[in-house]
Structure formats: C-alpha cells, structure tokens
Amino acid sequence: MKFVKLFEEFSEGNPVMDNSSSRVFIYYIHKTGKDFSADVRDPDGKVVAEVKASDISNDSQMKDENDIPGLIQLLIGKNKLKQGDTVVPSSAAKAEAQTEFAAEVNTNM
C-alpha cells in the first residue's frame, strides 16, 4: 500500500519519530463547519478515532478542525493516541501519493 511507504519515508530521519514506538496516522475531514466530522486512520486505513463538532470548543484542546496539535492532545486524552504519535492531514498524504505515482509513471515511460 502506497500510504505505508509514505509513513515509512516520513518517519525516517524525522526527529519527532525517533521513538521506536511512535506511529503515524492520517486525518480525514469529511464535513466542515457546524456539522464538522472527521476521522483518524492508521496506515492500513483502519479508523482509530472519530472527531465531531462537539469535540471542538474554546475550552477543548482542539480549537478548530485544522488544529492538528490540539487533535493529537485530544486523542491522547481519550487513549486513542500516545505521546510521540504523529498525525498527517489527508491532503498532505494524498499530495505525496500523487507525487510518488507521477514519478513512477515518468520512470516507466
């Protein structure tokens, strides 16, 4: 699976990922605004946590739908992630996969 390779490349040489027990997850936003919903998936695509509009507030660790550091802290508090885990927005993962695919197509021509 291409995302697994992306995670391996992302974690290699990344100081945040030096802990051998660190994991990388992808954050998918499905709806924005008052009906906000999203999920966090492991490299195999399994949903490990769901996030809803009710999880975001001024009193919450997550201030808005794009607050990845706040999302990580929220999910650590819910025992879904652990300290040292990394969350990558799906847009970044998708862009990396598209770049990798384009490179493969160009080298195979």
Q: Which residues of 5-28 are buried (b: 16+ CB within 10 A; e: fewer)?
A: ebbeebbeeeeebeeeeebbbbbb
Q: How many domains does the chain have?
A: 1
The whole-chain average pLDDT of the chain stands at 77
pLDDT surpassing 60 at residue 76: yes
pLDDT at 60: 77
Task: Give the closest residue to 80 by CA, choosing from 36, 29, 27.
Answer: 27
Query: When comparing pLDDT for 2 and 92, which is higher?
Result: 92
Q: Which residue do the tokens 């009710």 mark?
A: 54
- In this prediction, residue 82 carries a pLDDT of 92
Tell me, what's the pLDDT at 95? 54
pLDDT at 17 over 50: no
Per residue in 18-51, pLDDT tens?
445 689 999 999 998 889 999 999 989 999 999 9
The domain in which residue 83 lies consists of: 2-107
